[in-house]
Amino acid sequence: MRQIFSSQRVETVEGVAELLRSHGIEVKVTNGRSYKTRRRGQFSYTDLGNTQGYPAVWIVRADDQPRARDILRDARLLDTTRRDHPTAEFAFRDTPDAGSGGRSWAWRIRIALLVVIAGVALVIGLRHRGGPAPAAP
């Protein structure tokens, strides 16, 4: 047996197991539902805890593992390291993007606001400057 998928959520593991069973692959779920398991909403993805205790999907026959991995890759449940896979275009980019359009707009708005603030400060400063001081008697 070989482990192919694990998650903190029992529902996710059961869904993956059902997906693989529907394709005719014999699987076994370990650390599944029991009276000791935490229910929905009582776990945190940031609290890693004991990763060996997570619910997991195991492939019973090793011959089914490549086909199961392909099924999980097609469902985008498993990352790929192959460049020839259709979803690999998102994982491997030849050139980085020049910049995000949102960042450039935010930068332009900041500069415009700074120019407006500087203009208002200049106008206020010139108004308070006024004319020459009155002559002393």
DSSP symbols for 10-78: HHHHHHHHHHHHHTT--EEEES-S-TTS--TTS--SS----GGGS-EEEESSGGGHHHHHHHHHHTT-S
**Domain match, 18 and 84 both:** yes
Enclosing domain of residue 102: 95-130
Distance separating alpha carbons of residues 110 and 104, to the nearest angstrom: 10
Q: Are residues 8 and 36 in the same domain?
A: yes
Sign of the alpha-carbon dihedral angle for 25, 28, 29, 30: negative
Q: How confident is the model at residue 111 (pLDDT cuts 50, 70, 90)?
A: very high
Query: Do 102 and 61 belong together in one domain?
Result: no
The burial of 65, by beta-carbon neighbours within 10 Å (0-12 exposed, 13-18 middle, 19 or more buried), is given as middle
pLDDT for residue 15 is more than 70: yes
Determine, yes or no, domain membership for 85. yes
pLDDT, residue 128, reads 83
Question: Domain count of the chain?
Answer: 2
User: Is 53 a member of any domain?
Assistant: yes
Specify the pLDDT at position 17: 92
Looking at residue 131, its pLDDT comes to 65
Q: Between 46 and 59, whose confidence is greater? A: 59
Do the Cβ atoms of 45 and 67 come closer than 8 Å?
Answer: no
pTM of the predicted protein model: 0.53
Question: Considering the chain, what is the average pLDDT of its residues?
Answer: 79
- Kindly tell me if the per-residue pLDDT of 47 is higher than 80: no
Distance (Å) of CA 10 to CA 19, 37, 81, 111? 14, 9, 26, 50
Lowest mean pLDDT among 110-114, 118-122, 125-129: 125-129
Shared domain check, 10 and 67: yes
The confidence score (pLDDT) of residue 123 equals 93
pLDDT at 22: 94
Which pLDDT value is given to residue 25?
Answer: 92
Give the pLDDT confidence score for residue 117 in this predicted structure: 98
Assigned domain for 137 exists: no
Q: What is the mean pLDDT of residues 71-78?
A: 84
